[in-house]
Amino acid sequence: MIELRTPAEIDEMRPAGRFVAETLRTLRSETTVGTNLLDIDRRAHELIRAAGAESCYLDYAPSFGSGPFGYVICTSINDAVLHGRPFDYRIEDGDLVTLDFAVSVNGWVADSAVSFVVGTPRDEDLRLIDTTERALAAGIAAAQPGGKVGDISAAIAEIAHAEGLKINTDFGGHGVGRTMHGDPHVPNNGRAGRGFPLKPGLVIAIEPWFLQTTDELITDENDGWTLKSADRSRGAHSEHTIAITADGPVILTQV
Ligand code: MF3
Ligand code: CO
């Protein structure tokens, strides 16, 4: 079911968006060569507690993961791109890190992800990250009242295809509200003018993610959660929660 939010409800969603944005900024700035992924999770947990927020991930047990996630943040490293379960690993120079974080504050969810390189970057990693960021910006720009979900999908896909990237549509954007994953699904590929109508009050996460040289994912056999590229090439992911208003899209997950 698709729910539309009033302008007052969208205002109520702002603290969650701001907290998610601030937390990702803090965690990113504290992540250096040698940072342990478990410390990033611990720190995120501490910030959640201090803010009185509630994790969307800790007890989350969907069909696409094995049991409850058990952590409050996804840390996907290098060939891992989505749902990276934190584990005892110290970040190395040149690692491509994705942090994906969702909480609720006052009963409203916000969901956002960012990718970055720690230490000395490789050109192709910076290019991949830049492509997901440009795809996210294009998807947001296409999220106009009167349009269709396919407008967002097509805008994202156009950026990826211009870079010669293949797109996996097994996971994409989604409605955001009282819970993290709602309707409509917002695929990272599709046709403009098709799909669910974009109306004022629709709140969605838009989340392009791409792999360097494949569109095939495998699940890490050790944790049953982390999604990695089938060919070990690296992945990147950029996500914002946005509200569609009569005046156009508004990004909620920014400070
Ligand atoms: N926040 C992710 C998304 O962007 C979902 C992560 S689910 C988890 O939709 F269980 F892995 F945390
Ligand atoms: Co999401």
76 — pLDDT class (breaks 50, 70, 90): very high
Rounded Cα gap, residues 57 and 30, in angstroms? 21
CA 177 centroid distance within chain: 15
Instruction: Give the pair of three-digit tokens for residue 202.
Output: 């629709």
Is 57 near ligand 1, meaning CB less than 6 Å away? yes
* Location of structure tokens 């927020």: 53
Of 24, 45, 64, 111, best ligand 1 pocket probe by most atoms within 8 Å of the beta carbon: 111
Is 40 near ligand 1, meaning CB less than 6 Å away? no
Task: Report CA(244)–ligand 1 centroid distance (Å).
Answer: 22
Write out pLDDT tens, residues 141-175: 999 999 999 999 999 999 999 999 999 999 999 99
Of all residues in the chain, what percent carry a pLDDT higher than 70? Answer: 100
Which is the closest atom of ligand 1 to the Cα of 171?
9
Provide the 10 A C-beta neighbour count for residue 185: 18
Which pTM was predicted?
Answer: 0.98
Three-state secondary structure readout of 174-194: EECCCCCCEEEEECCCCCCCC
As a whole number, mean pLDDT of residues 77-88 equals 98
According to the model, what pLDDT value does residue 181 have?
A: 97
**E-strand spans in the chain?**
54-55, 74-77, 80-82, 96-105, 108-117, 173-175, 182-186, 203-206, 209-211, 217-219, 227-229, 235-237, 240-245, 248-251
According to the model, what pLDDT value does residue 177 have?
A: 98
255 — pLDDT class (breaks 50, 70, 90): very high
According to the model, what pLDDT value does residue 10 have?
A: 98
Provide the 10 A C-beta neighbour count for residue 61: 10
Tell me what the pLDDT averaged over the chain comes to. 98
134 — pLDDT class (breaks 50, 70, 90): very high
As a whole number, mean pLDDT of residues 6-11 equals 98
Is 79 near ligand 1, meaning CB less than 6 Å away? no
Task: Report CA(224)–ligand 1 centroid distance (Å).
Answer: 14
Instruction: Give the pair of three-digit tokens for residue 36.
Output: 């342990």
